[in-house]
A and B are shown apart, each in its own frame.
Chain A
Amino acid sequence: MPLSATDTIPQEPGALRRLARMLWADKFALAAALFVLLVVVLAVVGPMWLEGAATRQNLRGRNLPPFSLAQGWLGVLGADALGRPLLARIIVATRNTITIAAGAVLFSAVIGTMLGLVAGYMGRAAGQVILRLADVIMSFPSLLLAVIVLYILGPSVANLIVVLAITRIPVYLRTTRAEVMEVRERMFVQAARVMGASRWRIIFRHILPVVLPTLLTVATLDFAFVMLAESALSFLGIGIQPPEITWGLMVAQGRQYLQTAWWLSVWPGLAIILTTLSLNLLSGWLRIALDPTQRWRLEMKGRRNG
């Protein structure tokens, strides 16, 4: 059994280089990291770069099949029902999609985790109140929440983030609480308590790091869930509507063409799948890379490969 004693070897390279080497060791994670990087770059530059091409309609080129360069490289994924190149549209839609998904996941994860830590570690009364609150949110249909918020405040990206974030809070809350309840009984937490560490110090320095990997897994999966939930809301006529675009909206709009022009919904769907897959592979890798007791798996491989 290899020891984590490697940490103490004097010539150990810098943390960043070590991470890079561990990433190199896992080719799947490397590919995933590159894809996520691409998505982020496209989210930043996409709208400025291709806004024009993505909205220019061409009724003669409607539902143009993919894999043809007749319409230039942007037409390689085919065109939608209004003859707009799908590749350009997917790229332009990246920003809205990622903003909504990341915003919703971030807010729900942070709020949910905080509440979960409190519910799991603090007294029973606080825990009960928070959990029953989670029950209420879980039983409140997300569609109704969306209808209420968007009817009263009007549809916008920010309002949509609020709606999706609220509906996802219970997932993090309950997962965190479940983990905390297990972790707080462990030896090292008990030890810290005996040594007089403050409550918050125990929560943030001792419990949170142990809980974090599971939350990371849940969060990356939630990314896909949020993108698809946004798609479902668009489909029902609530949420983001044209001419704004998101991947979810493109998937929803392509639905009626699924049997005649599959590419309308398959490419944006694939973008969702690939993003989720990459984030998940990356979180899986990160989980191992950050865990002193697991790290050897990557370091061994890196050494063997390099």
Chain B
Amino acid sequence: MINRLLATTALALAVSLSSALAAETDVRIVLSEDLDLLEPCMATRSNIGRVILENVNETLTEYDTQGGGGLRPRLAERWEQQPDGSWRFHLRQGVTFSDGSTFDARDVKHSFDRAMNSAMTCETPRYFGGMTVTATVVDDHTIDFAADPVQPILPLLMSLVTIVPEETPVEFVRDPVGTGPYAVTEWTPGQQIVLTRRDGYWGEQPAVTSATYLFRTDPAVRAAMVQTGEADIAPSIAQTDATNPATDFSYLNSETVYLRVDHSVPPFNDVRVRRALNMAIDRAAFIGTLLPEGTEQAVAMFPPTTQGANPDVKPWAFDLEGAKALLEEARADGVPVDAEFTLIARTENFPGVTEVMEATLQMLQDAGFNAKLQMFEVADHERFYSKPYPADRGPYVLAAMHDNNKGDPVFSMFFKYDSEGRQSGVSDPGVNQMIAEASAATGDERARKWSDLVAHLHDEVVADVLLWHMVGFSRVSERLDWRPSIATNSQLQLAQIGFR
């Protein structure tokens, strides 16, 4: 019996040692949640994108968030706008899929049509809302995309459409085939996904030979795994665990935390009350205490690395007396500033959300607001977040976090500020007009129009209470040459990983 036990233990040790001694160019990445799907058209969802985007399935264009390089070619070598407003993409030649078939314009058309097909519930249609886009194959290596109305950022939108072979069925697949440098070689749901470097990739061969993705919900365990060598990268660990400067790095993670205010509900229909909300919160006091060092005060719904950010807009200064005075003034005019309202937040929204919201609540109360706090789980929170807003729950202010790493404000502004926006608290024809104009503009003019809108919303309309651009932490084994960036939330390109 004891002998058998010893033998088993020895075997176990041997197995665990051998796996630890895998090729030095193999990496293990520990993620926070298991993947429910491995479907290419869902790659815009961060948990899926981090595994397959640009590793397995590539896109025509690619937005360079970290290098400031803007939009770069990937499977399309170049593109131009035709006189009729449509866009022509010239595709890279000599590219093959991991199943051996050759990449051509028909694959692109199929990928787009498939992702937009209503028989599937891909994420893609959300980015093409309010327009009709038709793809037309010109020849094997040329494809036209015609949008109605004309779409100035169509090449940017193409960075969100992953390319699959023409033969891919119109249903969710479990074995994605792509043109990327890696192919999925193993997927054991709940346990691991293995990507292996493949021969015949059109680009430069990356250094990493294979990547194993593991899933652990607990951030402390993820951090421990890199420490013990069971993993090489933990893209997201807790601030409290990020204690080793040699392995732990912070990065701006493209998430923005804000309080959504419904302008149609008193007392928030009064701009003075909204100003008072903004002045009552000491944003700076949170940074370095409840929120990590490196967190930035927000003046817009999208991170400052985005085209259209406005560096001239200054965050609201903390001014308790000013807030009280404004409330007093509003009260004198008969605004019901003493009415109780609820500050609604979501549990697990970001690390330390409960403490942050309790501190926010206290600041609001100190300024004279009659506020209480209510935390909800995600489905409950959603009822308050999206229209139609519940009318029977009294006035409320909703804390939420919004992610825009796509490189253009359009992915935020319509939803959050247009009268028709699903999570908008604003109903202002002037704002609607500005959103429509900026969305239709191109180049520098586009950036300027977005900047103007940011200033208008922040200073004149006082649309909401923008709080912070958040940071995340990664732990990276010292044997790797890799740093997290603002892109890490949505993708993790294995090709960018080097070895020391």
User: Taking the complex as a whole, does A directly touch B, i.e. does some CB pair lie under 8 Å apart?
Assistant: yes
Chain A residues engaging chain B, CB cutoff 8 angstroms:
55, 57, 59, 62, 81-82, 147, 151, 236-238, 241-243, 253, 256-261
**B347 to A57, Cβ gap below 8 A?**
no
Contact flag A242-B285 (CB < 8 Å), given A57-B359, A256-B351: no
- Contacts A82-B358, A261-B240 known; list 7 others, CB within 8 Å: A59-B285, A147-B377, A242-B373, A243-B372, A256-B238, A259-B241, A260-B240
Contact flag A259-B220 (CB < 8 Å), given A57-B358, A81-B355: yes
**B352 to A242, Cβ gap below 8 A?**
no
A241 CA to B357 CA in the complex, in Å?
A: 12
Question: Using Cβ atoms and an 8 Å threshold, which residues of chain A touch B361?
Answer: 243
A55 CA to B366 CA in the complex, in Å?
A: 13
Contact flag A241-B347 (CB < 8 Å), given A81-B290, A151-B379, A151-B380: yes
A241 CA to B374 CA in the complex, in Å?
A: 7
Question: Using Cβ atoms and an 8 Å threshold, which residues of chain B touch A257?
Answer: 240
**A237 to B377, Cβ gap below 8 A?**
yes
B348 CB within 8 Å of chain A? yes
Question: Using Cβ atoms and an 8 Å threshold, which residues of chain B touch A82?
Answer: 290, 355, 358-359
**A236 to B377, Cβ gap below 8 A?**
yes
> What is the size category of the interface that chain B forms with chain A?
20 to 34
Question: Using Cβ atoms and an 8 Å threshold, which residues of chain A touch B352?
Answer: 81, 256
Task: List 22 A–B pairs whose Cβ atoms lie within 8 Å, in order of A's numbering.
Answer: A57-B358, A57-B359, A59-B289, A59-B290, A81-B355, A82-B355, A82-B359, A237-B346, A237-B347, A237-B348, A237-B375, A237-B376, A241-B375, A241-B376, A242-B354, A242-B358, A242-B375, A243-B373, A256-B238, A256-B351, A257-B240, A260-B240
Question: Using Cβ atoms and an 8 Å threshold, which residues of chain B touch A260?
Answer: 240-241, 243
Question: Using Cβ atoms and an 8 Å threshold, which residues of chain A touch B357?
Answer: 242
A147 CA to B346 CA in the complex, in Å?
A: 15
Question: Using Cβ atoms and an 8 Å threshold, which residues of chain A touch B289?
Answer: 59, 62
6 residue pairs, one from A and one from B, having the closest CB atoms: A237-B347, A237-B377, A241-B375, A81-B355, A260-B240, A59-B289
Instruction: Give 1 or 0 for each of B339-383: 1 = CB within 8 Å of chain A CB.
Output: 000000011100110110111011000000000111111111000
CB distance from B438 to the nearest CB of A (A): 37
B219 CB within 8 Å of chain A? yes
CB distance from A189 to the nearest CB of B (A): 47
Across the interface, A258 reaches (CB within 8 A) one of B220, B348, B373, B377, namely B220
A261 CA to B238 CA in the complex, in Å?
A: 14
**A57 to B241, Cβ gap below 8 A?**
no
CB distance from A248 to the nearest CB of B (A): 14
Question: Using Cβ atoms and an 8 Å threshold, which residues of chain A touch B375?
Answer: 237, 241-242
A151 CA to B377 CA in the complex, in Å?
A: 10
Interface positions of B from 194 to 225, Cβ below 8 Å from A: 219-220
